[in-house]
Amino acid sequence: MLPFTARGDYTSFLSLAVGLGAVCGILASLTLTGLIAPAALPAIVAPIGASSVLVFAIPASPLAKPYAVIMGNVLSAAIGVLVSIAIPHQMLAAGLAVGLAIMVMTATRSLHPPGGAAALTAVLLHPSSAGPTAALLFPLVPVGLNSLILVCVGIAFHRLSGRSYPHHAMPPSPTTETATELRREDILAALHKTGEAFDIELEDLERLLTPAEEHRNGRGAIRIAPN
């Protein structure tokens, strides 16, 4: 029972540390942006809470990369502002803004789920109602600045905790190639065949499959006892 208990204690400690990191990220974003943001705009937006989950809890996710966090939120917020100005009907504008945000994030390789919320927030807040300056600033302050501060706190937190962020995949360990060994082209072919998008880098997938293959080969090895 000791290994299970030790693992449970470690998991609890890690959860606590991640939670504290998120607290620091949100407080820093709120405080520093509040010093700069004009009175007509909020000091922080709700999508940053969702971004903090990705940055602190699953930093290895491609969706949590600094580029994705910052660009995904900023581009989506800008789209939300433009759509809210162009389309007075809020319900229609909300759906269109989120859809366009997903398309743009995908095209720019900055897919970040909270970006959809940033686009929706821009439509609901309708910052242009506070004047053209507020509309122009909203994607940058608070959204962009919130995102930048959160990423900076995330980098510092993970460096102190010994985790990798921004995440850099380690190359798979070299192994003796066999006729049945999976290669990168095999993985790419499988991904193309499924037509699905998975929340994992190709390098991380290779790194995971290599020891899995080694374990399979060891399990399937036939040992012949000497006569």
For 19-40, the pLDDT digits (tens) are 999 999 999 999 999 999 999 9
Residues 50 and 129 reside in one and the same domain: yes
Where in the sequence is the domain holding 194, given as residue range(s)?
Answer: 184-220
| Residue 195 and residue 95 share a domain | no
State residue 178 phi and psi, 5-degree precision: -120, 175
> Is position 175 within any domain?
no
Residues 101 and 209 in one domain: no
Number of domain units in the chain: 2
Burial 41-58 (b: 16+ CB within 10 A, else e): bbbbbebbbbbbebbbee
| pTM, two decimal places | 0.78
- Quick: pLDDT tens for 153-166: 999 999 998 888 99
Nearest-angstrom CA–CA distance, 190 and 197: 11
Residues 156 and 188 in one domain: no
Do 37 and 127 lie in one domain? The reply is yes
Residues of the chain with pLDDT under 70: 1-11, 169-181, 191, 194-199, 219-227
Does one domain contain both 105 and 210? no
> Are both 46 and 131 inside the same structural domain?
yes
User: For residue 68, is it within any domain?
Assistant: yes
